[in-house]
Amino acid sequence: MIYRFVARQCRFTRQNSIAVLNPVLQQNTFSQKRPIESTLEIPQNTYPNPLYSYDKAQLLSLNIKQLKHLVTLPVKSPSEKDRFHMHIIEIFHENLIKDTKLAVLYLDLITDSTVRDTIFEHLRKFYQSDPLRLSLLEYVINPASEKARKLVLGNLHLMLKVPNEPKSAAAIAFSYITKLALTDRVNPEPLLLYLNFSKVLYKHTPKDQWQQLYAAVLQTNIRFGNYHHYETVRDYLLQGSALDRFVARTGFLGAKWHHTEESNLPEVHKKKMIHHFLISRLALFTQQAIRQRDITNGNMYLELLVSKFEVLNEPKHLQLVLSVMLSHSMTFKGPQECVSFLRYIIDSNLSVVPNTLLRILTALRLEKFYDEALLLVNYLHTEKLSATERGDLVAEIMKVITGKFSAHPKIAVAYYASLFNDEIDTALDILKDLMLLDLVYGPGAVNHDYSIIERADIHEDLKKSDMSHEVLRDMYAVTLRSLVYEQKTNPVLIKTLYEAYTTFLTIQRKNKNAKFASGGRKADDSVIALFLDHLLRENPEARDDMNLVQDKFKFQTAKWIFKNYYGSLDSKQNIKDTYIFGLMITSALLKHQDLAFALRCFKKARDLSLPITFNQVYPLIMYHYSKAEMDKAQQWFTLLMQSGAEAKSVAADRVFDIAKEQKWPNTGTHYRNNVRVKKRLERDEIEKLKVDPLSGVKREYKDDLHAPNTNFCDELEKILHELAVHKKQRALDIIKEAVGEPMGS
């Protein structure tokens, strides 16, 4: 029967494949009326199977669940499926171009390998003179086959080889790659587009389609001839909306708001990510999830990282993988896990690179294990550090000191002076110009010989380090923290500090040889954010809530600072954080009903290409809702959904309730449900981690710190000593090997 059908198909009038390269996709087939409402209730032992008596229209009216249920029902003879197979082939042929996903979905209902091979062979003959359909067919059969690769690349090169119409060429190729992606096949072998062809695709695909292009390229494992073009698209997405960033990290095709909170990705999709992403990129995504304490994504990306390492089977990546595993364990189980991990590395005769130790240092500091962090600092200074690693170490030292002695700015100044000052007191001059020394020691108490300032005892190799904005922000924070509430939140003081700070920035920008500018780290908005926190927040250091003050004078001062900083300074050179904009819009609308200024802030954020966040949009929704301007409130809610911004707070629940109350077409229910599922999964994952925090490390190591009377600080000191001995022995072994002596003697 199948043979007769395929023969009959060969008499079809072939469609013009070029004309349908860029089709309009039809509406979702599965939204149509179901022919049998009780399909899912049909018992598993039902015979005959009603599926095989349906005509084509009835088959197309079934949804995925119904199809998957019906194909599991029994048959007594293969011939019973002939009619069904005929319809499937018709559906595949008719939809291969206009709805590739649907075509492949129905084709995959045929699981018998013999039947599939027969169908494939005859379709190959039928599509012999149609390279577009033939390439899609071969890609469905096996994307890594020589036939598929040759046809796909041949089509792409032909499509992009149109010098007079590059935009049309790029659009056609983009549509074709999307169809390949919609087959949902895993391509383990990269498809490399030659430079001149990938350049056309990159340059002539509009930026508003880059999200879809990137996803399709990842799904098909296509590589650009110029990797920089790929990086440009990826980095553009990583700096874009929350939805853009999600696609950049996953390559999810057709991503919507609710997808950003999926608790896990399909296994097929994860395989595509493993094949496409570099191991360094997977490590970076894992670290980002770890820093955000997102255990579900942290676990998923760690799984992908380890799988990628196994696929590559290259020992040079071992340190990277171990370092990320260590960060994961310390973050989700506790900093004490570093002892077990370091002991495992020593016993495995592996070296510990400085970057791994810096990760441990950061984790210790974030968890306020300051004494343990200082132990590690004492060890790290003996390591051979790169310029970047040295800068990271110095920044961590200042964060540890300002954290451990959070109410004692004089101690912070002592370390600051020892780390950054030079023979002409450049670093201390900066603190004096910024008026911080007057706040710490009293007005006029510090003259330019700085004799009143004590110096911390630090290692010589850490002196005369380059400063960063990060350090300045820490110095401002510890200084303001030491003042009484009325003084540190005084608008006059904050404005004075701001003016001194912007004067300093102006001088630094003009002086190319300035010590501060030579640190290799760009300025950021963190100091400005600190000033605004002290003006607008009830508790300047409590960023986890939006308890803001009602004070009009403080708000006016904050407005002036915002307008001055983003209006008169060359702030485009700085790293921007969305935080400030959410804070200002929230204060403007929810405390002062200043819609004009809030909209100005929102527009400025867009001008700076900053992503939309919940804290930028929520106040606008609530403002219009409170004034019964429901159309405007709904418009802002729609924008929130389109941006993919994270909305998981109590305030977000209020917005979802409003959407439901007003019966808006989209209420965010799917997104909200995914958030709840993910939160439950996070709790489960944390419980699992408590039971077995380091499944890859021997049990005796994991039990060490749970033994009675075990002191973490003592254990860390002991392991660092062992590490030093181990490093020394390795160095001696290398020397002995070079001169021909026995190792370890």
pLDDT of residue 7: 46
What distance in Å separates the CA atoms of residue 504 and residue 516, rounded to the nearest whole number? 10
Residue 67 lies in a domain: yes
The Cα 96–Cα 103 span in angstroms is 5
| Residue 78 domain-assigned (yes or no) | yes
Give the pLDDT confidence score for residue 572 in this predicted structure: 57
Q: How many CB atoms lie within 10 A of CB 492?
A: 9
Chain centroid to CA 90: 42
Domain assignment of residue 75, yes or no: yes
Q: In the numeric block, which tokens belong to residue 99?
A: 């709805």
For the chain, give the longest Cα–Cα distance.
100
pLDDT, tens only, 149-204 = 999 999 999 999 987 899 999 999 999 999 999 999 999 999 999 999 999 999 99
Q: Please indicate, yes or no, if residue 114 is contained in any of the structural domains.
A: yes
pLDDT at res. 744: 57
pLDDT tens for 675-728 read 999 999 999 988 887 765 444 444 444 444 444 446 899 999 999 988 888 777
**Cis peptide leading into 143, omega within 30 of 0?**
no
The most confident of the ranges 119-128, 704-713, 736-745 is 119-128
**106 located within any domain:** yes
Residue 115 belongs to domain spanning: 50-129
| pLDDT at residue 431 is higher than 50 | yes
3-state secondary structure of 524: strand
Is 258 inside a domain boundary? no
What is the predicted pLDDT for the residue at 728?
78
Residues 608-625 have pLDDT tens digits of 889 999 999 999 999 999
Containing H/E element for 181?
helix 166-182
At residue 461, the pLDDT reads: 87
pLDDT tens digits for range 3-56: 454 444 444 444 444 333 444 334 443 444 444 457 777 887 888 888 888 999
pLDDT at 582 over 90: yes
CB atoms within 10 A of CB 229: 17
Does 730 reside within a domain?
no
Six-digit token string for 638: 């729609």
Angle between helix axes 579-590 and 595-607 (nearest 10 degrees) is: 170
Q: pLDDT class for 732, splitting at 50, 70, 90?
A: confident
The domain total for the chain is 1
pLDDT computed for residue 577 by the predictor: 84
Question: What are the structure tokens assigned to 259, written together?
Answer: 């997808």
- CA–CA separation, 447 and 428 (whole Å): 11
Give the per-residue pLDDT at 514: 60
Q: How far apart are CA 190 and CA 11, in angstroms?
A: 37
Per-residue exposure over 427-464, b if at least 16 CB sit within 10 Å of its own CB, e if not: bbebbbebbbbebbeeeeebeeebeebeeeebeeebee
Mean model confidence pLDDT for the chain: 88
Whether residue 107 lies inside any domain: the answer is: yes
